[in-house]
Structure 1
Amino acid sequence: MSWLHYLGAKLFKSSRLKPNTIVVGIDTPSYRLASYLQQAHLANVVAFIDDEPWSNRTDILGVTVRYPSDLSALIERWQVTTVIEFDGNGLIPDNVREELKRLSFEYVVLDPAITPDHWAQQIQDSL
């Protein structure tokens, strides 16, 4: 079983409907993760989050890139169940993190320095 299939099975095993998910970042690991989640029909990626003004409102994999300040509104609007961020990207400011504490969703932080085969285990440990 591939690491991404395992990751998807662990994250989204209990739901027949594809859960709405937000991916924080638009770098290579974020792209690879979102691409797999879409291709395997494991999640509905509703937004990417990035703080660069030139990437705001652009599309990646058919999904709109939004600012970190939009995160809580997106979670509420799309009833997001999972937000996945790669450690060290620093895209979400402290005031937004405080705002997110009142919302109910799973927040998973992955280490981009480890091999992708270990991401699934890291997600499982976080949940």
Structure 2
Amino acid sequence: MRLTSFTDFGLRMLMRMASAPDRAFSTAELAEELQLSRNHLTKIMQALGRAGLVQTRRGGGGGATLARAPEEIRLGDVVRLLEEGQGLVECLKPSGGDCTIDGCCRLKMRLRMAEMAFIDHLNRSTLADVALSGRMIA
């Protein structure tokens, strides 16, 4: 399974934030430290905020913090959230995709089960399990 860069970057952000859960991180700081686009991280931060995983404050002393303890955030749930709308294959997209063999395919259910097993496996771990140990070295 290949995750989108949106999910990859979101996981990296959360891992960094989990390394200092009581600290507020600015998007600019995370972008520099992770060597990623600030605009892209802003969109991801908004999605994580809407989902209740992070909370943000504007202004001096502001930034983003985890909305819950890292031990309470399951990795599979994060991946499911950030991959929303991205089907593993065409027929698994929320719209049903544009598959020419739908109705007689024996693969779709197996892929759906594999996708569910992937998320279930990730849910055995929390953000605390994968938190980075301090500042990253570029």
Q: Give the TM-score normalised by structure 1.
A: 0.32
Which of the two has greater helix per residue?
A: 2
Q: Which is higher, the Rg of structure 1 or of structure 2?
A: 2
Q: Relative CO higher for 1 or 2, CA cutoff 8 Å, sep ≥ 6? A: 2
Task: Report the TM-score, using the length of structure 2 for normalisation.
Answer: 0.30
Higher strand share: 1
